[in-house]
A and B are shown apart, each in its own frame.
Chain A
Amino acid sequence: MDNLLLMLVPLFSSKLLLVLFFGTLFGLILGVLPGLGPTTGGALILPFTMTLDPLSAIVLLTSIYCAGTYGGAITAVLINTPGTPAAAATCLDGYPLAQKGEAGRALGMATVSSTVGGIFSVIILVFFAPILAQLAYEFGQPEYFALAIFGLTMLASIGEGSPIKNLIAGAFGILISTVGKDFMTSIDRFTFGINELTEGIGFIPVVVGLFAMSEMLTQSTLINQVFNRIALKAIKLPSKDDYKKTWKTILRSSGIGSFIGVLPAEGGTVASLIGYSEAKRFSKNPEEFGKGSIEGIAGAEAANNAATGGAMVPTLALGIPGSATTAVILTGLIIHGVRPGPDLFREQPDFLYGIFGAMLIANILFFVFGFFGAKIFARITLVPNKILWPMIFAVSVCGTYSLNQSIIDVWIMLFFGVLGFFMRRYGFSVVPVIIGLILGELVEGTLRQSLVIFDGNWLMFFTRPIALTFFILSLIALAFPLIRSRKFKKKQ
């Protein structure tokens, strides 16, 4: 109970309220702009958080995460382009409904279902994260190794792309984490005589490169693209009839989104696709889906926002990112000297529950901003790319340089920008690289320490029940995409 009261801390701190206000606002703007989004935005803002205390910094990042996820819906409904990948499923029904002259109704439903999904997931986070953290006390090095492997195998089923390509990208991410001095022996690896590489490759240059710079290159191929933007008069709250039609869908999708979010490496994109398809499966009018179904919007939006709280569960309780954006938040925690895991729950409950409270408030704030300001946010999409992207470049370069004051970091960022562009072009998702990079140190560290404990006997991993469970789950995670594609082929 005392801990729950700590959730009110942000409400009584003018500084935190201000951070929340700007974080939500900034998150919405990032979400609205196609190609940006909470992951890139979080990475860009990370250097700025160095001037803040740890709680304010993480509150800023989490509010960007919550609001950015919702912001993608505005662009999805009005210009049929998801502002964030998680809003892709919202386009399917949001845009057709807007074309029928009901953009306000579509956005109203997106706003309400996002808020309900987000709040639902924070409740899950508050109750589930401490339980998971409690369980993590039983974990030793072998269990953490098995857990990290489970997190990596989950990469196979993220998004619509090829599972093997995702795994290659994940392995590449881990490989990047091996650059620099080996932490156990101080032997240089892949440094090629470059002094700056002995410290390893930083997270920020890779994230900003893979997300922001590769997107800049993608935008360079689309400069002649014209968006058909639908005018928005005013956002409308859903009618009684709409609520009657969708409340079950919203609750179901909130549950689905929270569950998917908890799974390591999965995130809002997978959650919204499953939320949408389940909404269609349970609907009395499945034929309306794809033609402007209000249930379709509710299903997708409740799920993707519910994934935000869900994804924070493994991030905070175990130090395993639940999504790409939580990987950025995890980096924020580490940069500020906060080590996520079970000890965090015991030693700094005020910090943790402050974050939970802030996420709750952020969900309410983006409802208010979305409801009253959707029209203004929609206008942001009018900023031409030829103005916007050079500006993003300037911020990206300075932000990347600022962390270590290293020009090499900027070059690494540009290299990963070009690499990320070609990865996306040939169907390799960039998200697994980020997750691999984050988990790389954990995977290698726990593997090597476990082998020291086991005296080099690999089979000992399978004698530990928790580790064995994670290995079995890993096998299931690897087999799942195969089973899914077979089922899909059979259906066809």
Chain B
Amino acid sequence: MFDTLKSRIFQGQQFIKDIERAPMREQFRGFPKFCGANCNACEKCLDVCPTGALSLYPLTIDMGKCTFCGACKNVCKAGAIDFSNYYKLSATKRESLIITEGVQEADFERTAIEVRAEITSMFSRSLKLRQVSAGGCNGCEMELNACSNANFDMGRFGIDFVASPRHADGIVITGPITENMAYALEDCYKSTPEPKIVILCGACAISGGVFQKSTKLNREFLEKYPIDLYIAGCPVHPLTFINGVLGFIRGKKK
């Protein structure tokens, strides 16, 4: 037992105190940063983008499709495209994830998440989520697991993943929604008691990502049921996820 206590003492404090202002390493590829004036119209970036997230004239990146691989930035010798380490990449409307030049991080943070009174009054202190991987590659799944580890400790905000949809207030979908998972996903949604929310987590869930052209997908679920929150990333960083959900259920700190 003394060894166990010693291990505990050696670890010290590991949790991130202020999750909303947690620093991010500068290398992280997050919010797109454009300098359209530098663009020399070589269009090489369009060829290397694996998901068609990028479009030109004006320079636009759809964060719902973007895998944040940085291929466009690497190929752009003119320096028109970059990514900042800003990690709050969630929105309540699909269109809000489409970023053009001139949309600044601060604007995005202010407008992307629309706070609804019925959500904040119901879930602001406790939100239990059921996660469904529907073709997810285990990238987003590992990051969602990391949300509950000793660093990020999402449980302290009352947000937890639960084992059954019957215990859940909402579902989190990862993966491009394969044909073979379509039934189970809908079943899970129907088993979740009202009121409930649906969160799409990662480029695959939001747009199909690198699998969008696959014939083995069945994304009808997304047309049938309302989606409440889109969280961008490939995979979604734990800080992106926690801040996205917190912003949605609590609104901004005054």
Q: Say if A and B assemble together.
A: no
B residues with a Cβ closer than 8 A to A are none
